[in-house]
Structure 1
Amino acid sequence: MTKITIRNAPGKWVVRAGGAVLGETDNALELTEGEYPPVIYFPRGDIAMAFLDANAHATQCPHKGTASYYDIVTKSQTLENAAWSYEDPLENVARIKDHLAFHPGDYVTVEQV
């Protein structure tokens, strides 16, 4: 089985999309899964959810459960499936419930500040 580690991410974290700050938190979680790069999960309460639209896309992870996806709506574009959340995660990763992760790329940045 793939080893998953969840720890409190040190410091302050910010996520931006299209130049706008979507969220900032001192309470991020860092999830490391096997050889994949770590993923930062933001508490839902620290994200401006008005910029996110839930969509019908979902994926299944044997180690975390079913991921629900969100589009990020900026002034100039919609970034499809740019954020995800495990609404009902498996017991071994229960800490990520009520948290969101983001696909960093050309229009989305996740960074420690």
Structure 2
Amino acid sequence: MANRKILIPDVNHPITITKCSPTVIVKSGELNIARTKDALTLVEASYPPVQYLPRRDVDMSLLQRSQHTTYCPYKGEANYYTIPALGEAGLNGVWTYETPFEAVGDIAGYLAFYPDRVKIELAY
């Protein structure tokens, strides 16, 4: 990672992390993957908001660690999980920053799900 650029969020590329007030439910059909009142909402620049759920509130038995990784210069290296029960749609459908950069350190130990692969509900 020594050669990778590290960027700090600023006015040109803001990142905010706030507590998500409603309960966040992640499912696919009858498969209940996660439910939490402790999600964090990360908003980065002009991207849609992303819900990050604490690992303790995700049914980790439904996930399988994959070898896939990606790098974000603002957040660090992302590791991925597959949801085998979803077949092809579940491939690398979950990501986590296990050791995120300091600016986004609050998301350490949290998981995020691709909303085009699972249903993410906000229950008020």
Give TM-score scaled by structure 2 length.
0.85
Which secondary structure state, in structure 1, belongs to the residue aligned with residue 83 of structure 2? strand
Q: Which whole-Å deviations, capped at 9, do the CAs of 1:1-34 have from their partners, x for residues lacking one?
A: 4210000011111001343110100000000000
Larger radius of gyration: 2
Match of 2:105 in 1: 94
- Structure 1 residue runs of 4+, over 6 Å off? none
Match of 2:19 in 1: 8
Paired residues of 1:17 and 1:72 also in contact (CA < 8 A) = no
Q: Which whole-Å deviations, capped at 9, do the CAs of 1:54-108 have from their partners, x for residues lacking one?
A: 111000000000000110121x625101000001000000000000000012x41
Match of 1:109 among 87, 97, 119: 119
Residues matched between the structures, number: 111
In the alignment, structure 1 residue 66 sits paired with structure 2 residue 77: yes
- Taking every aligned residue pair, what percent have the same amino acid on both sides? 40
Match of 1:41 in 2: 52
Give TM-score scaled by structure 1 length.
0.93
Which secondary structure state, in structure 2, belongs to the residue aligned with residue 81 of structure 1? coil
* Greater helix fraction, Structure 1 or Structure 2: 2
* Greater strand fraction, Structure 1 or Structure 2: 1
> Which residues of structure 2 form unaligned runs of 5+?
1-9
CA RMSD of aligned residues (A): 1.2
Match of 1:82 in 2: 93
Which secondary structure state, in structure 1, belongs to the residue aligned with residue 46 of structure 2? coil
Q: Distance in 2 between matches of 1:65 and 1:94?
A: 10
Which secondary structure state, in structure 1, belongs to the residue aligned with residue 38 of structure 2? coil
Paired residues of 1:6 and 1:32 also in contact (CA < 8 A) = yes
> Which residues of structure 1 form unaligned runs of 5+?
none
